């Protein structure tokens, strides 16, 4: 909360049943708070007389995001949770019970910032007690007592806000562009296959109509036509269940079919052989055709049946392509979590697989992906979309470290009531002197212009602050492992649920 959690609606007027007020906090008590420990007696007395002590019951809202920022709060006891609204959903940002942390109108001293609003919401997780100062009092004190510090803080705040806005927007655009490019590449392959198969299918259907006219021009009687239709149905079944042959076996089968077609004076037999073998047809099955339609009608019947098999195979290709597209769209929805509640019970493996699918286009051919999942792990309560952001950052860093060649390993297992997800790579490793700083904001080991230094900082805050877990790293040359530790049981939430 020292990062400026803000607190509560202004508590003027008669206290409610959820808010109780006492007189003031004595100066000697104020000095025990780290924020005020360096003030002199006169300054402490001024704050003591201007402020008041309030208590809030567990589960009550101290203040709401977007309300006028009229109060500055310092936590005396209890536990509080700060949250932000993101597209209509309440997202917990931090939770603390540290005495002396503060929030509320923390920017009141900034000149020109009129009608300031609370930038987030604060809720009492347990019964909590606060020392409360009006915003105008804390603003006047900062300006009068610390003029140089006030100017420095003002410049720092405005500069950081502008920097974070620009860098954050750039980071989001780069991530969106990268994922969009990968998804577009993955969608293009099955889409192109579907278009190609549809075009070929149109030609096959036209050929079938021509052969049907030749077969049905009176050459075949009703019995022969019935037998031919039965052969057609059998050909469809064979095509649907045709085994996958090795290249050598396929070549031998095509030679046998081509020889049979040549022996029976069917022109262009080699062109037909590949389709017939792909449809599971053999020489014995072809021998049935003359018995069904007669020797004189063998060739048009063979071509009719070949068109039938080719049509089934093409429809199978279209079906596979459409299913692939559907799977990719499903993975994108799983990754973005756009149509789902932000906090839900999820299977971490689904999230990892969705992230791998989204990043598939970025994985070089020289990188081998190994998945070692413990499928006995139960679903866990989590902010799914934000965990996907963690997986994206860790996998992207691993791919960058390997520089196009190596092994990406993703493992999960259970330990001491926690789910552990590990992202490993075989890159050069993280130097020992750098390792303590990798989770710092804006720190990056990538070349200038290639990294903003926010990925691991964001991942750390998502895992530690929001999920009450941990993120650790072990690294030696050729073996770097980031471990994300998440509680399996549900942690208390800041919205009372």
Walk along the chain (497 residues) and give the pLDDT tens digit of each residue: 544 443 333 443 333 334 455 568 899 999 999 888 889 999 999 999 999 999 999 999 998 888 888 888 999 999 998 888 765 667 777 888 999 988 887 777 776 555 688 888 899 999 999 999 988 888 888 888 887 776 677 666 666 666 666 666 665 666 566 666 666 666 777 777 777 778 777 777 776 666 666 566 656 666 777 777 788 888 888 887 888 888 888 898 888 988 888 888 888 878 888 888 888 888 888 888 877 777 777 887 888 888 888 888 888 888 777 777 776 676 666 665 555 667 788 899 988 988 888 787 778 889 999 999 999 999 999 888 888 888 988 998 899 889 889 999 999 999 988 999 999 999 998 888 877 777 766 556 554 444 434 568 788 888 888 888 899 999 999 999 999 999 988 654 443 33
Listed in sequence order, the residues at least 6 apart from 463 whose beta carbon sits closer than 8 Å to its beta carbon are 390, 469, 470, 471, 484, 485, 486
**Element containing residue 91 per DSSP (H, E):** strand 89-96
Residue whose C-alpha is closest to residue 459's, from 479, 486, 480, 434: 486
pTM over 0.75: no
Residue whose C-alpha is closest to residue 52's, from 121, 133, 128: 133
Q: Is 73 helix (H, G, I), strand (E, B) or coil?
A: strand
- Using a 10 angstrom Cβ sphere, with 0-12 exposed, 13-18 middle and 19 or more buried, the burial of residue 49 is exposed
Listed in sequence order, the residues at least 6 apart from 468 whose beta carbon sits closer than 8 Å to its beta carbon are 95, 487, 491
Q: Check residue 268 and report its DSSP letter.
A: T
Alpha carbons 41 and 107: distance in angstroms, whole number? 25
- Using a 10 angstrom Cβ sphere, with 0-12 exposed, 13-18 middle and 19 or more buried, the burial of residue 107 is buried
Residue whose C-alpha is closest to residue 35's, from 6, 75, 70, 71: 75
**Can you name the residues that pair with 419 across neighbouring β-strands?**
414, 486
Read off the tokens for 487. Answer: 């509680």
């Amino acid at each position: 909360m020292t990062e400026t959690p803000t607190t509560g609606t202004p508590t003027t007027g008669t206290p409610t049943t959820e808010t109780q007020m006492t007189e003031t906090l004595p100066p000697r008590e104020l000095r025990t708070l780290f924020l005020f420990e360096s003030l002199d007696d006169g300054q402490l007395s001024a704050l003591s007389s201007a402020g008041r002590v309030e208590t809030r019951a567990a589960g009550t809202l101290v203040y709401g995001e977007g309300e006028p920022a009229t109060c500055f709060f310092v936590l005396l006891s209890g536990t509080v949770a700060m949250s932000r609204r993101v597209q209509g959903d309440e997202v917990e940002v931090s939770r603390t019970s540290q005495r002396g942390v503060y929030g509320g109108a923390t920017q009141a001293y900034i000149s020109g910032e009129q009608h300031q609003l609370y930038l987030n919401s604060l809720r009492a997780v347990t019964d909590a007690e606060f020392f409360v100062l009006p915003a105008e009092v804390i603003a006047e004190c900062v300006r009068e007592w610390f003029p140089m510090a006030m100017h420095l803080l003002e410049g720092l705040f405005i500069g950081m806000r502008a920097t974070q806005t620009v860098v954050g927007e750039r980071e989001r655009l780069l991530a969106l562009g990268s994922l969009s490019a990968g998804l577009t590449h993955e969608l293009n392959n099955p889409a192109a296959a579907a278009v190609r198969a549809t075009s070929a299918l149109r030609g096959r259907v036209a050929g079938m109509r021509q052969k049907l006219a030749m077969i049905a021009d009176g050459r075949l009687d009703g019995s022969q036509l019935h037998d031919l239709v039965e052969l057609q149905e059998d050909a469809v079944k064979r095509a649907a269940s045709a085994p996958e042959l090795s290249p050598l076996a396929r070549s031998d089968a095509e030679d046998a079919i081509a020889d049979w077609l040549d022996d029976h004076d069917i022109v262009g037999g080699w062109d037909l052989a590949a389709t017939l073998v792909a449809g599971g047809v053999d020489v014995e099955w072809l021998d049935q055709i003359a018995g069904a339609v007669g020797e004189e009608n063998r060739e048009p019947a063979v071509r009719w049946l070949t068109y039938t098999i080719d049509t089934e195979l093409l429809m199978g290709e279209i079906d596979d392509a459409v299913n692939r597209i559907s799977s990719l769209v499903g993975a994108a929805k799983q990754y973005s979590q756009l149509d789902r509640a932000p906090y839900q019970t999820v299977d971490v493996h689904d999230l990892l697989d969705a992230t791998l699918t989204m990043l598939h286009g970025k994985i070089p051919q020289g990188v081998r992906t190994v998945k070692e999942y413990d499928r006995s792990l139960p679903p866990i309560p989590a902010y799914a979309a934000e965990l996907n952001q963690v997986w994206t950052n860790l996998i992207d860093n691993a791919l960058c470290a390997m520089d196009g060649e190596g092994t990406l390993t993703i493992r999960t297992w259970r330990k001491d009531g926690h789910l552990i997800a590990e992202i490993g790579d075989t890159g050069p490793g993280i130097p020992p002197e750098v390792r303590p700083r990798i989770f710092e904001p804006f720190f990056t080991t990538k070349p200038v212009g290639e990294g903003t230094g926010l990925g691991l900082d964001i991942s750390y805050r998502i895992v530690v602050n929001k999920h009450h877990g941990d993120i650790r790293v072990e690294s030696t040359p050729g073996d770097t492992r980031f471990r994300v530790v998440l509680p399996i049981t549900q942690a208390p939430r800041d919205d009372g649920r």
